[in-house]
Each structure stands twice: as C-alpha cells, then as structure tokens.
Structure 1
C-alpha cells in the first residue's frame, strides 16, 4: 500500500487507487492513512466524523464506512491480482488490510511507501547534518524532503477536529524543515539565491520572526542594508498593530548589528521549534 498525505490524499493498493468520494468515508480513510500500522480508536474516528455530539447510530454508521472502504480495498486486491498472502497461504482479503483491532481499526501498510514517513526520515537526516555543521548535506536532505509536498496536507479532505489537529502538526513540521533548509543555504552563502523565496515567505507568514530575520540577513549580505532594515520596521508595525507586541530580543539584536553596519552580521538563531514558543519570546508593548 502506498500512501500520500502531503497534498491531496492518495491511497493505493497494488498500484490501484482506493478513494471513496463521499466526505465521511474519506475522513475515515485519511485518519487511518495518517496512522498507518497503528490502531485508531473508535472514539477518535467518531469525534472526527461528528464532533462532540455524535448521533446514537455513530458506531453503526462508522462500521458501514469501514465496510465501504473494505469493498474498495477488496476490489483493488482483486484487480491487482493479489490472490495470495505473503506466506503463500489463504488469499489476502480486505480484512487483512483494514483490520478490526481491540478498540479501533488499523490500516496495514504492508511495507509500501508513505510520503510523510519519507519526509520525516529526510528531515531527521537534515537536522542531524545541521548539528554536525554539514550545511551542504542538510540543505540537500531538507530540500528532498520538502519536495515531497505537493500542496497543503490532505488538501482535498474536509477536516474535522482530529484531522485539523493533524494537518496543523504536519504544516508545522513543514515550516520547521523549510526554516532549517534556508538556514543551511544561508550558511553556504546563498544569500542572493534566497531573496525571491524569502520575499514570498514573509508575505505569506506576516508575523513569522524567524523567516523575517533570515530575509533581513540575506538582504544585508546582498548589499541591501536599507531594505533589510525596512523588513524589520514592517514586521514591527504588524506585530505592534495586530498583537501589541514588540519583536523578539534576537531580532532586535540583528537589527542593531545591521544598523551598525558590522562587517559580519550574526547568523540567525536556530529556534528549538519554528513557530512554537515564538510568541513567548515577544515583549509586550507598554
């Protein structure tokens, strides 16, 4: 089974798509695919489908969706010619792929590809390369991992509470990898090559301090000191105007170094996690 969640949902069995068209079965498949080879509790699936006030028929209806998914899986197994199990014994059935487990359901990956697992593997290699100051290796691994994304996670699935939480988590890991990849490129002196990308990123993430700091550094090292300072001022106006907050100490320190036209502005700090904790580092105005 091959699973894609870093973009539109894609699940294939023996190379054949298993994709329900109705919204609720798609939600069930998306949650099972995100947690492939792990049990997803019935309570989690019910909350995703109906929120905090499910109907009395929720469990029965969920079983109906599971049966519909098994029908699709069974059809794919039949068309794909998978008529024997791995041990050569009894035929592989849809119940062997979408398993009823104690308290929930489990989707077996069968050793197939998973874009999110591959992304996490490459990102981990990239972070370890950064720690070892192998910036070329870090940039390569992180770029390969980010290339697996074809859009927002689960872009074609209408998310409920559980899926929204998972999508936010995935997008946060994407942003963290992106920040680290840009950091590696900055360490390699690729300042001018990054300007176009950073221009778009700071426009999209209007209050993201770390990306603005990287943009300031890239501009400064490209001989555009005035523009680097303007980036800081625009960010400050947004933070003060929308949140009543001043930029972080780290970003003000970078601004000060640029104002003094130091020969070598400091590298941007590597946060423990992009986004998380950033608000804690801001200083409230007044």
Structure 2
C-alpha cells in the first residue's frame, strides 16, 4: 500500500486508489492513513467525525464507513497480479478499541519525510551543511501542498495538519540555514521574499531574509525587512521583535563597507541561528 498525505490524500493498493469521494469515509481513511500500522482508537475517529457531539448511532455509522473502505480495498486486492495473499480485513484490521490500516511494507510519504529530515538535522549538527541541505531539500520535495489538502478535516485532522505544517517549517528553516552556511545567499532571495510575505510574523525566516539581503550588498532592504516585521508584530500581536533579532538589526545597521564585503565573501561567513535556536548576529 502506498500512502500520500503531504498534499492531496492518496491511498493506493496494487496501484489502484482506495480513496473514497464521500467526505466522512475520506476523513476516516485520512486518519488511519496518517497513523498507518498503528491502532487508531474508535474514540479518536468518533471525535474526528462528530466533534464531541456524536449521534447515538456513531459506532454503527463508523462501522459502515469501515465496511465501505474494505469494499474499496477488496476490489483493489482482486486486481493484483496473483491471487490476493491478504483480505480486506487483513488490510483494515479491527482490533480491541480501534482500527489499524496495514501498509504491508508499502510507502508512506510522511514517514519518509521524517526519516530524511531527521538525517538532515543530524548532518547539520555534524557540520555537514551540503549533506544537510540536500537531505532537507529531498524531504521538503515530498510535499505537494498543505497536508490533507483535499480532506475536510475535523478536530483530529486539523490538529495533525497543524503539527505537520510545523514539522515542514522546521525542516525549511534548517534547509535555508544550511544554504546560508554554504554561501548561497543570492540564490535564496527569491524564495525568502515569498516566505516572508506568507509567514508575516515568523521571526527566523525574516532574520534569514535580512542576512541574505545584507550579504548580497542590500543592507537598506535588509533593514526594511526588519521594520516591516516589527510593525506587523506590534500591530497584530503587541510584541517587539526578539532580543536576538534586534541584535541582528543593530549589527547590520552598524556594519561598515569592509564588513559588508567580508560578509558576502563565501561559505561560513555567518549564521542566523545556532543549534539551540538562539539568533546569532555575525554578518
């Protein structure tokens, strides 16, 4: 079974889609697919479907959705190259307290993302910035859009979608950091322009944008980015930028022509954040 959740939901058995079009069975499959090979409690599925106000028939209705999914799985199994070694009940398993979707050793994009990102983080810690950038870029390439982009989510899926988006942002932050360490500041400018506009209060992305601009000889624009971020933070959240970001702004403001030239000289010329997340201001 091949499972994609980092974008549109796609679940395939023997290359055939088993993703239903009806909204509620689709929700059930989405939650089971995200937690493939793990038991998803009935209570979690009911909360997902009815948000704390389940009808009296909730368990029976959930069983109906499971039967609909098993019918799709059975059809896909019948189209295998050989007689099916598994039945639909072997794929979508009923266990005490919940259900389990067995991937049968197939692919799961979120699992591969976690593997690649984790390896990328370890490469960063080891100072292998080229390897980290490559691994994190591969991890991020698995995303084709927001997680569960075509699923109308309930409480559980909305929570999982926010969690997955945070993991994506963490990987993106570290990939940009690795590229900055490699002296790719000019290559990053177009991407960071879009990201700063999309994530208007994300301080680290703005700090990376400031650093990339500064190293590219665009100190005035780097300072403009800080002022726009500060205005947004004060207006929308009632907050001032972090101490570390203010320190970065002062460092850019005070940099002379000679330090500016040195800043753009190549790899290893500075960093936005250290491994503990604290902003640095070497420019």
Relative to the length of structure 1, the TM-score reads 0.91
Q: Counterpart of 1:99 in 2: which secondary structure?
A: strand
Contact 1:119 1:145 in 2 (8 A): yes
Matched ranges for 1:79-98 at <5 A: 79-85=79-85, 92-98=86-92
Contact 1:24 1:49 in 2 (8 A): yes
Structure 2 gaps of 5+ residues are: 264-268
Contact 1:14 1:82 in 2 (8 A): no
Change (3 A) 1:270 1:171: farther
What residue in structure 2 maps to residue 51 of structure 1?
51
Change (3 A) 1:238 1:174: same
Q: Does 1:260 align with 2:264?
A: no
Distance 2:275 2:235 in 1: 25
Distance 2:186 2:78 in 1: 54
Change (3 A) 1:52 1:273: farther
* 1:9-30 deviation line (CA, Å, top 9, x unaligned): 0000011110111000000000
Among residues 226, 233, 253, which one is paired with 2:227 in the alignment?
233
Relative to the length of structure 2, the TM-score reads 0.92
Q: Structure 1 segments of 4 or more deviating over 6 A?
A: none
* 1:205-255 deviation line (CA, Å, top 9, x unaligned): 000000000000000000000100010001001111111110001100100
What residue in structure 1 maps to residue 215 of structure 2?
221
What residue in structure 1 maps to residue 273 of structure 2?
269
Tell me the CA shift for residue 271 of structure 1: 6.5
What residue in structure 2 maps to residue 15 of structure 1?
15
Change (3 A) 1:14 1:160: same
Distance 1:244 1:114 in 2: 41
Q: Counterpart of 2:148 in 1: which secondary structure?
A: coil
* 1:73-128 deviation line (CA, Å, top 9, x unaligned): 0000002245242xxxxxx2100000001100000010001111111110011000
Q: Does 1:176 align with 2:160?
A: no
